[in-house]
Structure 1
């Protein structure tokens, strides 16, 4: 997790990084819910010289799904049975600057021969996520047949409340996907899962996702940040126009056409009636 400031400086000022591998994490057994299919990993720095996390924590909430549907809480992501939601939560941590903003570095591990692409899709339909019109997807495709193998999908927004509303929206930006130029800790879960093939059999890439407005005041005021993403296999879900938006578009486009048609009929009828008042001379 990065913290940086753009206030009153010509360049971005980065503070010492919060390395999550140095955090102390609570046992997952305390938050594992077999009924709701949820779990939460909560951690704090093992050492905190600045005291920024004296009342704060970082958490990752994971939700699995048994069937397709849509989340109720914003950003109301559309999901399938082959996907899970991962939510990054930064709560209570004190900013180290007046205009601090935060960024999360997301690392991805793929087999050799798999190409990763960052896609952006825009839509005029914001019924489920008000004022947010952009959806981003990081997809892994096979070089042989361009088939989508897996994806990470998110809306271009985060929220500054435990019960998010439209006014709690926090601007979210994504930097380009790049090859990771750092080495993973030997004790990391990636090494435990993939073995010693990291760097030869598997490639590691990273993308930075930043949160906050131009002045970073949103987090300073609420001391809470939540960002959700969907992680799954196969093609990422695609939103279609909702019945409400289709109805609004039909009314907006159909009303002028109906008025034009009625007006044309009235003019033609008036002209025909005018000519019918004259009788032929012969």
Structure 2
């Protein structure tokens, strides 16, 4: 993990995570310059490196300030941008009342230097609005917690996401932020940037196995597929739940809903690292899609009571991890399906034995 590589200043945040494989390298570039963003770049070289022209990056025209060397080694690149947070509540007329939007490109972000943990491979981007007329953030903050992985495994805390070495986790956290309504709910807008020839699809998978995430049976994945061969290039994956506690339990679950994926008809912040890497082609050469993910129960009281919200998602390259039935569920299914078969078999044997015994009581005629 590299913090602000080539720049001896903590006034801005850029975190580079580099994973080297047998014949390739995966680059994750996280930054709060502009809206919080992560670049995902896959190369077919073990020695590919991130290059940053800091003077250009922090200028009003950052296009071309970030690149991978050698450029010819890049085989795939994309970006995920966390653009806005909406807050709304339902009036008695069942109409949704929206409050002024929190534009994350207008936030002031703390230095991640003091949260960077090279052993645990974690960091935290924490911010508040540059201007806060309502005072909602006077005792609160918004954060994105980032975790990189060295091997496959499963997270301990809920929602206990299954991960691989080709993936990283991002956790969106609202802590102590005062809601502006009596039954406020929050919506996180997530945008993706993809190259021409790549299409985003939203998938939903349901399972009867909820051992690792109790009462949650749905997994959602936003996958980038090549239009040429339908291969999956990258993904953003999450369980259909958020939590209202720093140490989440089943009873802390907060309802999480995903709206439909749509083509974005707006532009990303010019100061974002998306423009620094992709250049001026964002929106023409590269396509932008967006999805809204909402949090809160029917009455919105869960956050009102706890003033804490945490939502976790996994992102990475290739196919998203797929949960299989746990040993416990397999055992339960084996017992549930096997017991009737055993009873049927035993019953059949008893009937056959009884019939055979009855016929054997007769004496032969001769």
**Same fold per superposition (TM over 0.5):** yes
**C-alpha displacement of 1:234:** 0.7
Instruction: For residue 223 of structure 1, report the CA deviation from its aligned partner.
Output: 0.6
RMSD of Structure 2 on Structure 1 (CA): 1.0
Q: CA deviation at 1:7?
A: 4.4
1:222 corresponds in structure 2 to: 306
For residues 229 and 344 of structure 2, the distance between their equivalents in structure 1, rounded to whole angstroms, comes to: 51
- Structure 1 gaps, min length 5: none
Give, in whole Å, the separation in 2 of the partners of 1:149 and 1:249.
35
SS in structure 2 at match of 1:30: coil
TM, length-normalised to structure 2:
0.75
Q: Deviations over 1:241-263 (max 9, x none)?
A: 11111111000100111011111
1:261 corresponds to which of 330, 334, 345: 345
Q: Which aligned runs of 4 or more in structure 1 are off by greater than 6 angstroms?
A: none
What is the rounded CA distance, in whole Å, between the counterparts of 1:69 and 1:155 in structure 2? 16
Give the superposition deviation at 1:275.
1.9
Evaluate the alpha carbon distance shift between residue 261 and residue 7 of structure 1 in structure 2; reply closer, same or farther with a 3 A threshold: farther
> What CA distance in whole angstroms lies between the structure 1 residues aligned with 2:244 and 2:315?
22
Specify which structure has the bigger relative contact order, considering alpha-carbon pairs within 8 angstroms and separated by 6 or more residues: 1
Normalization by structure 1: what TM-score?
Answer: 0.98
Q: For the residues of structure 2 that align with 1:55 and 1:191, how far apart are their CA atoms?
A: 33
After superposition, the C-alpha distances for 1:214-267 in whole angstroms (9 at most, x for unaligned) are: 001111111100000001001111111111111110001001110111111112
Q: Check the 8 A contact 1:153/1:231 in 2, yes or no.
A: yes
The alpha carbon displacement at 1:200 in A equals: 1.7
1:206 matched to 2:290? The reply is: yes
Q: How does 1:52-71 map to 2 (within 5 A)?
A: 52-71=136-155
The answer to whether the Cα contact below 8 Å between 1:7 and 1:99 also exists between their aligned partners in 2 is: no
Count of aligned positions? 282
Cα distance in 2 for partners of 1:9, 1:213 equals: 18
Checking the alignment, whether the CA contact within 8 Å between 1:7 and 1:98 is kept in structure 2 is no
2:327 and 2:166 map into 1 onto residues whose CA distance is: 26
Separation in structure 1 between the aligned mates of residue 155 and residue 91 of structure 2, nearest angstrom: 36
3-state secondary structure, aligned to 1:229: strand
